[in-house]
Amino acid sequence: MSKIKLTALSNTVVERDHAVITGDGFVNSVVPGWTNCEVNVIINEAMGAKFCQLLITLNNQSELKGKTALSQIFFYVLEGSCDLKIDGSTSTLKKRSFAYVPVDKDYVFDNAQEGTQILTFHKEYEPLSGYKTPEVIINNAENIEQTIYCGDSDLLMQNLLPDQTDLSFDMAVNIFTYNPGANLPFVETHIMEHGLMYLEGQGVYRLADKWYPIKKGESIWMAPYCPQWFGALGKEPAVYIYYKNINRLPTTV
């Protein structure tokens, strides 16, 4: 008779103003309209966040069908490929492809390669007077220029959305690459909230007054004003994709 393996070990940590989610305790969630797939809720309002971050694993029978309502969704393909049907056209997404779906849009993801994984960021959209709602964006990170961050050529940033040139966007999604040994130039403390996942490499992250080893596949939530710092370790670049809220007044006036 086979025995059930029991373990009480996990590197996941959830604090008041930050969390490190390692994936060893994921439990599948059901999302209406998303069928024959595995959905892991990594970050959510239930833990104190004001956005949602999901990891979806697809097979060749999977379908993600829905319509955005209050929240916009950013989809990023981590592995594999799939088709996206939106606005009457079909696009094939492969690894590093992304799709920004604004509010009030119907979408369907299907025809997925077995084992395809998609990372998503969901945020309730805040309209800005005098600006139209953003349009659908479909692209691949390979097409996005890397820019030097804070004058350090070992820190490279890709802005996947045109948030710096178009104030209609109230969320940013960036890919941050640290060459081996690189680190943030200071401990950041700011009003923006972050959700991120490591795409490559490893390093050490300071969150509040604690230090955490981080590697590929793991995720972090940072609440506003949580002090943060990162340094890359090892012989390969450390790369993560992250979300932040932007371009809106910090208080109601």
**What are the tokens at 123?**
């945020």
Give 117's strand partners: 57, 79
Residues 74, 175: Cα–Cα separation, whole Å: 13
Residues 230, 194: Cα–Cα separation, whole Å: 14
Residues 157, 145: Cα–Cα separation, whole Å: 8
The pLDDT, as a whole number, for residue 249 is 85
The pLDDT, as a whole number, for residue 253 is 57
* 117 and 58 Cβ atoms separated by less than 8 Å: yes
pLDDT digits (tens, 9 = 90+) for 44-99: 999 999 999 999 999 999 999 999 999 999 999 999 999 999 999 999 999 999 99
The pLDDT, as a whole number, for residue 155 is 98
- In the chain, pLDDT over 90 holds for what percent of residues? 92
Side chain identity at 198, as an amino acid letter? Y
- What is the phi-psi region of residue 111: left when phi exceeds 0, alpha when psi lies from -120 to 50, beta otherwise? left
Span of 1-15, 103-117, 161-175, 234-248 with lowest mean pLDDT: 1-15
* 102 and 166 Cβ atoms separated by less than 8 Å: no
The pLDDT, as a whole number, for residue 2 is 63
The pLDDT, as a whole number, for residue 28 is 95
252 falls in which pLDDT band (50, 70, 90)? low
pLDDT digits (tens, 9 = 90+) for 160-190: 999 989 999 999 999 999 999 999 999 999 9
**What are the tokens at 57?**
């694993």
pLDDT digits (tens, 9 = 90+) for 190-223: 999 999 999 999 999 999 999 999 999 999 999 9
Residues 173, 137: Cα–Cα separation, whole Å: 12
pLDDT higher than 80, residue 237: yes
